[in-house]
Amino acid sequence: MNNPMELINKDINYIWHPFTQMKDYETEAPLIIDRGKGLYIWDIEGNKYIDAISSWWVNVLGHSHPRLNDAIKRQLEKIEHVLLAGFSHVPAIELAEKLVQITPKELTKVFYSDNGSTAVEVALKMAYQYCQQSGKTKKEKFVALKNSYHGDTIGAVSVGGVDVYHKIYKPMLFEVFQAESPYCYRCPMGKQKETCDIECLGSVEGIFKKHHGEIAGIIVEPLIQAAGGMIIYPAEYLKRLKKLCEEYGVLLIDDEVAMGFGRTGKMFAFEHAQIAPDLVCLAKGITGGYLPLAVTMATDEIYRAFYDDYEKLKTFFHGHSFTGNPLAASVAVENLKIFEEEKIIESLQPKIEVLSKNLEKFRELNCVGDIRQTGMVAAVEIVKNRQTKEPYKFEERIGHKIYKQALKRGAILRPLGSVIYFMPPYVITEDEIEQLVDIAVDSVKSALCRSS
């Protein structure tokens, strides 16, 4: 079955794609990908593309990495899967030990699941049950930020704040307290970056002051609200938030699903604020993008609230069929070995500088409102009017127009509304960073902009 049109027709006939209006395929065919290597992927017609978004932020070390390939092959010769309730296996043990070693000493326990949404569900349930089993029975609610995204399961959607993804499901969700987003470019407090004193955190503090007796935890994406538009905020916000949580007795849930494993220039984003969250959610880059695996890390204090005689029913009754899958855990172990042995975090620093320098090319475009970057994550917000910051309307699909132009030039961008972003695999070279940014600049120009 090598005929491209035959494959495309069968895809459209049988597959319901995520985050996709399938009616679009009446005029635009999906790309059918054949293979990948390093930074690049090829479609079935031989066209080559830079994977500028690491295939939904997961392929941190690029495609078809030989060491990761070999790790899976070795594990295949032993066992492909075994349940983790009452059983265990070497890869799960090795991975848990390594994660505890590279995170703050307060995080002592690793609970496995299989994707970012479920890592968040686990954290929410743990926080709730911890409060119920430690004499804080009135603490039943959560605080989340506007513009936040934590996944697509019901609990994760409940703490989400992006209407385009979440509004339709509102009748199904549990209520949360929603605080202002630390959106520096469109500051909810009307401040400028240069004179800001993190006033937006006052929204959280106000909720804590009034309702802390009801609040089990607050969940945040550290430093970058990803799906909300790659909204980048200062580490000081996170540092002060941790102090507020300690002051008011609220658990801090850190959703590192998108930003963990080097994305921000450190292994974990919370390191920039020099804090230790109470619960940490990890997924995506944990396996280098190879297999679904997720982790929720917890403090010993939280863990001890579940530790009792079986008949007391304090057990954490949560699990998935593929929890701690040996294949996934084995490739995750090898992924972390590569990070350590090849000094991946250190190797990113000059690339981060090159990315920063090349982003300046966007300033010549009068439709660029904001350029933001943290580590190997960069974003460019496209606006109708630079002076007034007037945004494009959702239905104008500006990002989609830019995406199509970039495809013609050999790069896969997947803008978030009117925000173009870059999250390439770390194997990208400095020359390839320049090439990628040039493609993006040309794509924006071609789609809608004129030079200043």
CATH number of the CATH domain containing 298: 3.40.640.10
Regarding whether 264 and 160 lie in a shared domain, the answer is: yes
At 190 the pLDDT is: 85
In whole angstroms, give the CA distance from residue 335 to residue 328: 10
Regarding whether 369 and 309 lie in a shared domain, the answer is: no
| pLDDT band of 435, cuts 50, 70, 90 | very high
In whole angstroms, give the CA distance from residue 43 to residue 49: 8
Q: Coil, helix or strand for 258?
A: coil
Mean pLDDT of 6-14: 94
Regarding whether 358 and 275 lie in a shared domain, the answer is: no
Regarding whether 374 and 308 lie in a shared domain, the answer is: no
* 5 located within any domain: no
Mean pLDDT of 100-119: 97
| pLDDT band of 196, cuts 50, 70, 90 | confident
Number of Cβ within 10 Å of residue 349's Cβ equals 10
Regarding whether 416 and 316 lie in a shared domain, the answer is: no
Does the structure show a pLDDT above 60 at 370?
Answer: yes
Regarding whether 241 and 380 lie in a shared domain, the answer is: no
| pLDDT band of 298, cuts 50, 70, 90 | very high
Mean pLDDT of 404-425: 96
At 39 the pLDDT is: 98
Distances (CA, A) of 119 to 69, 293, 343, 348, 385: 25, 9, 27, 27, 40
- Domain span at residue 121 reads 69-341
At 451 the pLDDT is: 44
What are all long-range contacts of 81-84, with beta carbons under 8 Å and residues at least 24 apart?
A: 81/322, 81/325, 81/326, 81/327, 82/326, 83/321, 83/323, 84/112, 84/319, 84/323, 84/324
pLDDT digits (tens, 9 = 90+) for 140-164: 999 999 999 999 999 999 999 999 9
* 23 located within any domain: no
CATH number of the CATH domain containing 384: 3.90.1150.10
pLDDT digits (tens, 9 = 90+) for 308-346: 999 999 999 999 999 999 999 999 999 999 999 999 999
* 436 located within any domain: yes
At 449 the pLDDT is: 60
Regarding whether 370 and 270 lie in a shared domain, the answer is: no
pLDDT digits (tens, 9 = 90+) for 235-273: 999 999 999 999 999 999 999 999 999 999 999 999 999
Of the residues 319, 341, 363, which one is the last residue of a structural domain? 341
Regarding whether 259 and 123 lie in a shared domain, the answer is: yes
* 265 located within any domain: yes
In whole angstroms, give the CA distance from residue 448 to residue 404: 12
* 216 located within any domain: yes
| pLDDT band of 1, cuts 50, 70, 90 | low
Question: Which residues, 6 or more positions from 214, have their beta carbon under 8 angstroms from its beta carbon?
Answer: 138, 139, 140, 141
Regarding whether 221 and 160 lie in a shared domain, the answer is: yes
pLDDT digits (tens, 9 = 90+) for 199-216: 999 999 999 999 999 999
Regarding whether 392 and 251 lie in a shared domain, the answer is: no
How many domains would you assign to the chain? 2
Contact 254, 280 (CB under 8 A): yes
| pLDDT band of 189, cuts 50, 70, 90 | confident
pLDDT digits (tens, 9 = 90+) for 79-94: 999 999 999 999 999 9
Q: What is the CA radius of gyration of the chain?
A: 22
At 452 the pLDDT is: 43
Regarding whether 134 and 263 lie in a shared domain, the answer is: yes
Instruction: Retrieve residue 355's tokens.
Output: 């990315």
* 150 located within any domain: yes
pLDDT digits (tens, 9 = 90+) for 25-74: 999 999 999 999 999 999 999 999 999 999 999 999 999 999 999 999 99
Mean pLDDT of 379-403: 94
Does the structure show a pLDDT above 90 at 193?
Answer: no
* 16 located within any domain: no
Select from 188, 230, 223 the least CA-distant residue to 206.
188
Mean pLDDT of 155-179: 95
> CA end-to-end span of the chain, whole Å?
49
Regarding whether 200 and 54 lie in a shared domain, the answer is: no
Q: Please give the helix or strand (H or E) that residue 255 lies within, else none.
A: strand 251-255
Of the residues 311, 326, 341, which one is the last residue of a structural domain? 341
Select from 98, 138, 110 the least CA-distant residue to 279.
110
